[in-house]
Chain A
Amino acid sequence: MQNRFMELVEQSSMKASPPKFEIGDTVDVHVRILEGEKERIQIFNGVVIARSGTKTREMFVVRRIVQGEGVERKFPLHSPRIADIIVKRSGKVRRAKLYYLRGLSGKAVRLKERFPGGKATAAEATAAKAERRAKRSARKADRLAARDAAKLVAATPATTE
């Protein structure tokens, strides 16, 4: 049951703009660590293999290989201890949970890189982006020109009369 009051309470302890990342992304998780009096940021780098829960209870699992041994850490997404999550690389995956990576080792663990817009290489992705941008600005220019023309048309009858 989701209720207005619940929403209010949960909103209060959720991050206003939670960091965006997907399953299969290689991320740097910045974790605040208290060492005595001093606060320090520790970075945990790895592949996001699972996300679970909703609202304040949302968690995600990051897996990395340390000295040939698989290490997984589960973080609460909205915890104030998580300072930042930076996406280093996006992986091409077809599942929501990448638990199958646990059974793999060596080269098999690698995930194919995924670029925005479903392009095959980074260069293609940037080219596609530039193209889209150019198209958009062209459309905008067209629109502006059309508007000016319309204005002109609207203004002309007044002058002819």
Chain B
Amino acid sequence: MRVGLLGRKVGMTQIYEENGTAIPITVVECGPCTVLQVRTAERDGYHAIQLGFADKKRKSATQAERGHAKKVNAEPKRYVREIRQETPVDVTEGQTLTVEMFADIKRVDVIGTSKGRGFSGVLKRHGFKGLRATHGVKRMHRHPGSSGPSADPAHTRKGIKKPGQFGNTRVTSRNLKIVRVDLTNNLLLVKGAVPGPNGGYVTIQQTNKV
């Protein structure tokens, strides 16, 4: 079974190993999650478990959400995602999954929504260097410069890096090492950064990278 859970990013800090090495970590409040639905190949064409994390007020949930949660005697959830499975899994609908699942897992992928930076220029969005500050540059210091050849092909090639919406998209941080699993507080400590702001919802799953 591909282990996966939903959670909330708490924040970053550092902890020390016994030999004094400082490790940068992200604290993720991970689960407990309710299995809202089990997708099967016969009915849905693929295997997956649908998880829900963090209760939502009944009055702010739609009738559909309420009905869906009621099937497994649960409250409507704020964050609902599926964890895709290769094979059928022995998980039943309505079951509660906790961070214990990650006890013997070494590395995970963390999926989240990156911080939105709005409509950004090429320096911020693509790391361009910009133009010079002096030597005759006139009000073009943060411009992208040329966007391609001139008469031939006489148009801008597709896929050229340009200004535009930056962030607020789905981002996956791959192959993050699990540093610690805290069963009493449902915390997962992963090494390195995780997409999104503190308090943002994330999906954590066993990595498929080898």
Size of the chain B interface, CB-CB below 8 angstroms: 19
**Is B15's CB under 8 angstroms from A9's CB?**
yes
Are A57 and B11 also in contact (CB < 8 A) when A8-B185, A32-B20, A80-B19 are?
Answer: no
**Is A79's CB under 8 angstroms from B16's CB?**
yes
**Is A80's CB under 8 angstroms from B187's CB?**
no
CB neighbours (8 Å) of A78 from chain B are: 16
Tell me, yes or no, whether A158 is within 8 Å of chain B by CB: no
Tell me, yes or no, whether A55 is within 8 Å of chain B by CB: yes
Tell me, yes or no, whether B109 is within 8 Å of chain A by CB: no
**Is A13's CB under 8 angstroms from B187's CB?**
no
**Is A3's CB under 8 angstroms from B10's CB?**
yes
Interface residue SS majority, chain B: strand
CB neighbours (8 Å) of B17 from chain A are: 80
CB neighbours (8 Å) of B13 from chain A are: 6, 9-10, 55-57
Tell me, yes or no, whether A100 is within 8 Å of chain B by CB: no
Interface string of A1-43 (1 = CB under 8 A from B): 1010110111011000000000000000000101000000000
**Is A13's CB under 8 angstroms from B198's CB?**
no
Compute how far the CA of A10 lies from the CA of B40 in the bound complex, rounded to whole angstroms: 42
CB neighbours (8 Å) of A79 from chain B are: 16, 20, 22
Tell me, yes or no, whether A91 is within 8 Å of chain B by CB: no
Compute how far the CA of A80 lies from the CA of B198 in the bound complex, rounded to whole angstroms: 28
Interface string of A69-112 (1 = CB under 8 A from B): 00000001011110000000000000000000000000000000
B1-31 CB contacts (< 8 Å) to partner A: 10-11, 13-20, 22, 25, 27, 29
**Is B10's CB under 8 angstroms from A12's CB?**
no
**Is B14's CB under 8 angstroms from A81's CB?**
no
Minimum CB–CB distance from A143 to chain B (whole Å) comes to 45
**Is B20's CB under 8 angstroms from A81's CB?**
yes
A76 to chain B: closest residue by CB: B22
Minimum CB–CB distance from B116 to chain A (whole Å) comes to 18
Compute how far the CA of A104 lies from the CA of B205 in the bound complex, rounded to whole angstroms: 57
CB neighbours (8 Å) of B27 from chain A are: 5-6, 9
**Is B20's CB under 8 angstroms from A9's CB?**
no
Q: Which of B20, B25, B182, B198: most chain A Cβ within 10 A? A: B20
Tell me, yes or no, whether B189 is within 8 Å of chain A by CB: yes
**Is A5's CB under 8 angstroms from B29's CB?**
yes
Minimum CB–CB distance from B118 to chain A (whole Å) comes to 22
Are A5 and B187 also in contact (CB < 8 A) when A76-B22, A80-B19 are?
Answer: yes
**Is B187's CB under 8 angstroms from A9's CB?**
yes
A10 to chain B: closest residue by CB: B13
8 of the cross-chain contacts (CB-CB < 8 Å) are A1-B198, A12-B15, A13-B15, A13-B16, A55-B13, A56-B15, A57-B13, A81-B19
A-B pairs, top 7 by smallest CB distance, nearest first, are A81-B20, A13-B15, A5-B10, A79-B20, A13-B16, A80-B20, A9-B27
